[in-house]
Amino acid sequence: MDQENLTMVTEFYFSDFPQYEIGGLLFFIPLLFIYVFIIVGNFMIFFAVHLDTHLHNPMYTFISVFSFLEIWYTTVTIPKMLSNLVNEQKTISFIGCLLQMYFFHSLGVSEALVLTAMAIDRYVAICNPLRYAIIMTPRLCIQFSTGSCIFGFLMLLPEIVWISTLPFCGPNQIHQLFCDFEPVLRLACIDTSIILVEDVIHAISILTSVSIITLSYIRIITVILKIPSGESRQKAFSTCAAHITIFLLFFGSVSLMYLCFSVTFPPLLDKAIALMFAVLAPLFNPIIYSLRNRDMKNAIKKILCSQKIFSISGS
């Protein structure tokens, strides 16, 4: 096809959102509630960790970083979903689509690496407790956290730059709830099979994180089961239960979304998996880390009580 005769696409259209009059509002209200809950919940966790000196340790530092990333991870996609549910023009610019893909996946990779750091932290704390303070220093925690974010944002950059050079000449309908690699690349006017190399690299990185986390928790559980005291064993399990739950939710949805390769899901199931990956999994993060953790609950209560005191004194 002659490149000069191509009409380049400047925006994409999300074709799978219902019209506002025929069901958009039905989805808009619960999605808005979930988004507000995610933002408020993760902000409270983030501030609770930084304001309460009892939570100034590596485990809660990683939790606060993960919560901070979750705020932006959901903000990349959910506000646009909400807009598409109530607007007739369900479009996104070409640049906007690239940025949404880049930040969504960069933040996701950063979260995966932070979860890996959490698993290493718990492994050292339970399997090598006498050397924990020497190994997991504040400096190492900062290096883990910043390194996770830097690597996450650099890893996706070559792929996004490459996609930005592809010709998109129509159609421009994205059959997904947000801009993602597979539905966008399907619209390119040239063969994009070379992207399989990038997909394999991403899969290897995901599987590496999963392997490290899985092996860490298998070793942790083995050590915990050997603890003679029932009370100490239960306390050790409780500190890891939240991390394991978040790990299963996060990587379970990632596996369904991106590690199936040639498997094709029905359109409705494909949207449900995307919704679980982008919305429902982040919803459980503040619930699990606040409701199942006594120290976190106490820290959040202190914040809420201090706000009440300030509001009373101000009135």
Q: What is the pLDDT of residues 231-245, one digit of tens each?
A: 667 777 777 787 888
pLDDT of 231: 67
Supply the DSSP string of 28-86, one letter for each residue: HHHHHHHHHHHHHHHHHHHHHHHH-GGG-SHHHHHHHHHHHHHHHHHHTTHHHHHHHHH
Closest CA to 290 of 75, 113, 40, 107: 40
CATH T-level topology, domain 7-314? Rhopdopsin 7-helix transmembrane proteins (1.20.1070)
Handedness of CA 200, 203, 207, 208 (dihedral sign): positive
Residues 275, 285: Cα–Cα separation, whole Å: 15
Across the range 262-283, mean pLDDT stands at 79
The two tokens of residue 200 are 């394999």
**Is 280's pLDDT higher than 80?**
yes
Higher pLDDT, 1 or 138: 138
Across the range 84-98, mean pLDDT stands at 90
Across the range 117-134, mean pLDDT stands at 91
Higher pLDDT, 271 or 118: 118
Residues 57, 52: Cα–Cα separation, whole Å: 11
Average pLDDT value over all residues in the chain:
83
Domain boundaries, the chain: 7-314
Give the confidence band of 300 by pLDDT, cuts at 50, 70, 90.
confident
According to DSSP, residue 1 is labeled -
